[in-house]
Chains A and B, each alone.
Chain A
Amino acid sequence: MGMENVIELRGVSKALKAFTIDNMNLQIKQGYVTGFIGANGAGKSTTMKLIMNLLQPDKGKVSVFGLDYANHEKTIKDRIGFVYDSNIFYESLNLKDISRIVAPAYKHWDDKQFKFYVKQFELPLNKAIKKFSKGMQMKASIAIALSHDAELIIMDEPTAGLDPTSRRELLDIFQEVMVDGKRTILFSTHITSDLERIADYIVLIDEGQILFDKPVYELQEQYAIVKGSTELLDADTEAYFIKIERSPNGFQALTKDVAKVKEVFGEHAVIEEASLEEIMFYMKGADHPYD
């Protein structure tokens, strides 16, 4: 089968205690960085867990590299590098021992590569993980994820807990890793500025629903923040906006049809490029998020 989609969720439903995913469809494209955004509790981690087969769907299909987990769990996971938002390594062990546990699990573990990242991230090999700072734990996790020639790198909030310098350093490494075009990154975060730099596709999730899955340039071209006098608003013009905030001084709204808004409002409204953060904010509890 064509390898254009590395991850495919088809009609996936999962009911958890406080939260449900209902009939989710999602495709993650090969060779690109996909940013997965949404508020805390929107379902990012649950979706990631479904992709990693830590959770099994009640209904629907999850396939990775075109393979299903029922028959190909080992093959799939051998090709995935993972980073979770909290430490999953034995706290009392040092990084050297952890690599001794993890390395033999992979067919293509590259110890040189691992040592390279350990050095680059300035991680101590002989210090217990529990004495690592949050940022160091994250870097340790990333070093392991990048040291077995994984084709798919799944990261849940990898930049959380990192200082701005480390975040930039990491983004550089992710871009470096993407140069040969063999790899795919799925990257959840609420620090949207990280994605504005490296993401090719953005998936927005809210309350267990995928609100959109688009290439970044489409977002930049179609979405905009519009500001103007409330006199501009009526039943017809309101339909151009996803969500409108009104104040005595005018309105601010998000549109996904900049061309139309420009045509109708012309010079009467201020139209600005919408940041991911603004899109995320306005899409949450939108008046009409879906067409």
Chain B
Amino acid sequence: MINLIRRDLIIQKFQLYVFIPCILFFIFFGSHLSAFFIFVFAGFFIPINAYSYDEKAETNILLNSLPYTRTQIIASRYIGAIFYMTVSIGIAVLLFYVFNRPFTWADIAIGVGITLTMFAFAFPLFYLLKPGHIGTAVTIGFILLVILMGPVITFFEEYLTPAVNFLSSVSTSLLYLSSVGVITVLYAASWLISQVIYQRKAF
């Protein structure tokens, strides 16, 4: 299992060199962007990129011919995503700190929450899609994200803040706790669905 997770590092050597400059670019030139958005980008980058390698039928033939079970392959994807997200956001936080860009714990929490929610929706969808379409799906998704980013942020500012205010008036810890609960359930359900899809897949 650890071997499967480690594999993501080996196949992404080149992308790893791009990762830090990308985050730095956002820190310096993305001052209009909320910190949580950069955290989402950081957390999303490596796992999704790793995934784009796995979409190939050939890669699945390789993985399934090696002594791994399909359950392990899916588990490595979900556990690996959390691991790489944590490391990536950690690095981003460090860079924020080094270059003196302000951020809050709430930014990190929201960043992690959104990233995990995106994984939860993206992974099963990708396992459902035919090989060769995931790259396209990610590109379209990313372009949509960039186009919609303005309105989305406005949306967050207009509606989320009052909502958060409302919820925080109830109890901050309860809010965090329930978010953690919802995201955990979402992620677990996604894992289960991916496993069911993958178990029956033919290569």
Is B62 touching A54 in the complex (CB atoms < 8 A)?
Answer: no
Partner of B62, one of A56, A80, A88: A88
Question: Given A55-B203, A105-B3, does the pair A93, B65 have CB atoms closer than 8 Å?
Answer: no
CB neighbours (8 Å) of B58 from chain A are 86-89
Flag the segment in B37-45, B66-74, B161-169 that touches A. Answer: B66-74
Is A52 touching B69 in the complex (CB atoms < 8 A)?
Answer: no
Partner of B53, one of A88, A90, A97: A90
Size bracket, chain B contacts:
20 to 34
Question: Given A90-B11, A100-B10, does the pair A54, B67 have CB atoms closer than 8 Å?
Answer: no
Is B68 touching A54 in the complex (CB atoms < 8 A)?
Answer: no
Interface string of A74-105 (1 = CB under 8 A from B): 11111010101011111011000100111011
CB A284 to nearest CB in B, in angstroms, measures 27
Chain B: which residue is nearest A54 at the CB level? B203
Once the chains are docked, how many angstroms separate the CA of A175 from the CA of B25? 58
Q: How many residues of A contact B (CB 8 A)?
A: 31
Chain B: which residue is nearest A102 at the CB level? B66
Question: Given A86-B58, A88-B61, A104-B3, does the pair A55, B202 have CB atoms closer than 8 Å?
Answer: yes
Is A77 touching B65 in the complex (CB atoms < 8 A)?
Answer: yes
Once the chains are docked, how many angstroms separate the CA of A78 from the CA of B14? 30
Is B7 touching A49 in the complex (CB atoms < 8 A)?
Answer: no
Is B64 touching A105 in the complex (CB atoms < 8 A)?
Answer: no
Is A106 touching B67 in the complex (CB atoms < 8 A)?
Answer: yes
Please provide the chain A residues from 11 to 31 with a CB less than 8 Å away from any CB of chain B in the complex: 16
Which A residues contact B (CB, under 8 angstroms)?
16, 49, 52-56, 73-78, 80, 82, 84, 86-90, 92-93, 97, 100-102, 104-107
A-B contact pairs, 10 of them (CB 8 A): A54-B64, A56-B202, A74-B69, A78-B67, A84-B61, A89-B58, A89-B62, A101-B7, A101-B10, A105-B67
